[in-house]
Structure 1
């Protein structure tokens, strides 16, 4: 509500000092997703700035002013504290580029464009994702039973936000789990038979990328300790628990 009144005040000031016009429209919001280390350019959609243009960029819930062009003069605000040297403002178009972006730069970027033709607004909801690790598949030893013909497995990742973890049999989805919080362990179980010849994979993904770990049943699904098995000479052996 306060930001709305700020816009009204800005508009009346513009009317009073510049004899301009004032337009109150619905803000346009564009969602942008990218990985850490990438760059993004937030476009004003202006071909060339005129002398009467005032371009104002703000960031975050407190609407911190980070960059401005007024009468073609560029001013950067708080850039060292929040963005370091990552910000670049195009003097011809007013578009804002953020290089080597990190998760801390996720948030809402607000653009105000004021000219003699009126005032317009654009919003960019930027989401930055950390690189995804390859998920880890382990044998669930707590579910190991000498009487069972199945192998119990767990696929896990740590400390990931806004991701999904899934088991696939070939190209078919078997199960999936999602998480939005950080600092938790995400695990998904799977049971297969010891001599299953199907192809299984565990996939970690977010909205823009994924990482896959393929299951090696022969390597992970050895008989449980204590299970009686028959060797090639047809003699019986017993694996002792340790």
Structure 2
């Protein structure tokens, strides 16, 4: 991870079997596109309102172990992982694409999660 990104990285630690919330501290607009990545693989995505959310195996079959354990807050973009497992440890990237007319701005938040 580049030094500039490490400065922005938030560290989270959770005990196995407990829940952890990755809160980017932003408020999502209904037109924003929100994508969470785990070790560079899409695990959840919102392209509009609550009905436009995909998680786990809908995004990729490689990470279907997240099925039924991801909760995404549609207002804040926060991701909660329930029943944490040691295999959940790693880097989580949140990408928010904000489009206004012809301009698209991307914001990226990075979380390092340790499961103990």
CA contact (8 A) 1:88 1:98 kept: yes
RMSD between superposed Cα atoms in Å: 1.8
Q: Where do 1:33-112 residues align within 5 Å?
A: 33-47=13-27, 49-60=28-39, 63-72=40-49, 73-78=52-57, 81-112=64-95
The question of whether the paired residues in 2 share the 8 Å contact of 1:53 and 1:113 is answered with: yes
- Give the secondary structure class of the aligned counterpart of 1:67: strand
Query: Does residue 29 of the first structure (1) align with residue 9 of the second (2)?
Result: yes
Higher relative contact order (Cα pairs below 8 Å, separated by 6+ residues): 2
Q: Compute the TM-score of the two structures, normalised by the length of structure 1.
A: 0.39
Distance 2:113 2:72 in 1: 17
* 1:159-178 aligned within 5 A: none
Residues 36 and 103, structure 1, Cα contact 8 Å, conserved in 2 = yes
Q: TM-score, normalised by structure 2?
A: 0.78
Stretches of structure 2 that go unaligned for 5 or more consecutive residues are: none
- Higher share of residues assigned helix: 2
Runs of 4+ in 1 over 3 A off after TM superposition: none
* Number of residue pairs the alignment of both structures matches: 101
The alpha carbon displacement at 1:106 in A equals 0.5
